[in-house]
């Protein structure tokens, strides 16, 4: 991982002071229900939260020998505590304006993560009143954000369960349509809270037809910068060189309509280029796992990416020649 990578800015916040002085503003009634369970009156908030923002950094010209373990999991983020010697980061499928929709009715991946980690909402409120810009994209260039040390204070079940009053689940727009008592039953406080490190970066949106080469390059630039930043920040957080793990999934493939195979391929490439020790790819279900298998086959067979080092540019040229097509938004 690049030793030269430096953040645009880094600032540390006391979690208790952050929640007291800049409480999150959950405007939708169902978000308020969850907040009341996760942070009841008298709730204590602990630890320090580190915010950092990183400038776009071009990846190396050579894909290194394969030292990154790629671990597919047919599930969703569990935010399990990391063992000693490991620093783990969980992707936030971000908007360019960091956490901008957290308080409203929507419950897509970004908003769900902030709702379960309410100090992320407080962080946004603090940033809006500071000299720091809450942007993951600026001047059409990625500026991924890392937030280390934020408490996860509850778990919201989003799976369809008619017996619990949520036949269509609670993901996306279904959350805002649900009755408050249904949301309350789906929410479990975590006592004590667990602690999460978040990597927020925006995928490209609004594409139509075949992916242009510039779009492929931009996706790789964003993912590489975010993953390399996670590695650099992990070393700041650890006394000894840690194992660096990023948890991701089908980033940009829901509301933004990204192509699942292409987005998976580019994230695996970015992980290798950034020198991550492990990339955990949460595929959601068996269908997602099958799609991820196709992405790994594309890497090995169509792109010729194996165990040995290889130049990046020809790989990207072959990827472009596969003529991946944009999909459509899932409406969430």
Name the pTM for this structure: 0.96
Contact status, residue 97 vs residue 114, Cβ threshold 8 Å:
no
For the residues of 21-74, what is the DSSP string, one character each? HS-----SHHHHHHHHHHS-TT----SEEEEEEE---PPPSEEPP---EEEEES
CB-neighbour burial class of residue 25 (10 A; exposed 0-12, middle 13-18, buried 19+): middle
Question: How do the pLDDT tens digits run along the chain, 332 residues long?
Answer: 444 688 999 999 999 999 999 999 999 999 999 999 999 999 999 999 999 999 999 999 999 998 899 999 999 999 999 999 999 999 999 999 999 999 999 999 999 999 999 999 999 999 999 999 999 999 999 999 999 999 999 999 999 999 999 999 999 999 999 999 999 999 999 999 999 999 999 999 888 999 999 999 999 999 999 999 999 999 998 888 999 999 999 999 998 999 999 999 999 999 999 999 999 999 999 999 999 999 999 999 999 998 899 999 999 999 999 999 999 888 77
For the residues of 78-127, what is the DSSP string, one character each? --PPPPTTEEEEEEEE--SBTTTTTTSS-BSHHHHHHHHSTHHHHHHHHH
CA dihedral sign of residues 16, 42, 156, 74:
positive
Closest among 175, 211, 167 to 324, alpha carbons compared: 211
The pLDDT, as a whole number, for residue 4 is 62
Q: Which CATH class is domain 7-321?
A: alpha beta
Residue in the structure block whose two tokens are 């660096």: 244
The pLDDT, as a whole number, for residue 1 is 44
Domain segments of the chain: what residues? 7-321
Distance (Å) of CA 9 to CA 42, 114, 137, 143, 179: 33, 22, 14, 11, 41
């Amino acid at each position: 991982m690049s030793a030269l990578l430096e953040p645009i800015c880094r600032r540390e916040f006391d979690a208790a002071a952050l929640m007291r002085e800049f409480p999150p503003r959950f405007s939708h009634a169902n978000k308020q229900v969850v907040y009341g369970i996760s942070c009841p009156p008298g709730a204590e908030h602990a630890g320090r939260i580190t915010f950092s923002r990183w400038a776009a950094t071009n990846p190396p010209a050579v894909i290194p020998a394969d030292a990154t373990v790629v671990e597919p999991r047919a599930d969703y983020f569990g935010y399990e505590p990391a063992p000693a010697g490991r620093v783990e980061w969980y992707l936030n499928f971000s908007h360019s304006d960091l956490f901008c929709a957290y308080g409203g009715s929507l419950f897509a991946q970004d908003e769900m993560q902030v709702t379960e980690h309410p100090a992320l909402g407080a962080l946004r409120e603090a940033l809006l009143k500071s000299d720091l810009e809450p942007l993951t994209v600026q001047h059409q260039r990625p500026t991924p954000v890392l937030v280390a040390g934020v408490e996860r204070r509850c778990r919201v079940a989003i799976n369809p369960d008619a017996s619990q009053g949520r036949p269509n689940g609670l993901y996306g727009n279904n959350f805002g349509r649900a009755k408050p008592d249904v949301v309350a039953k789906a929410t479990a406080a975590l006592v004590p809270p667990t602690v999460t490190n978040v990597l927020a970066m925006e995928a490209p949106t609004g594409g139509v037809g075949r992916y242009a080469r510039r779009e492929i390059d931009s996706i790789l630039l964003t993912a590489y910068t975010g993953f390399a930043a996670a590695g650099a920040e992990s070393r700041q957080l650890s006394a000894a060189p840690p194992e660096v793990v990023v948890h991701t999934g089908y980033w940009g493939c829901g509301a933004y309509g990204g192509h699942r195979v292409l987005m998976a391929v580019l994230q695996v490439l970015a992980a290798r280029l950034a020198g991550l020790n492990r990339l955990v790819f949460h595929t959601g279900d068996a269908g997602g796992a099958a799609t991820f298998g196709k992405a790994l086959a594309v890497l090995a067979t169509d792109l010729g990416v194996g165990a040995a080092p290889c130049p990046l540019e020809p790989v990207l040229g072959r990827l472009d020649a596969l003529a991946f097509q944009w999909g459509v938004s899932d409406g969430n």
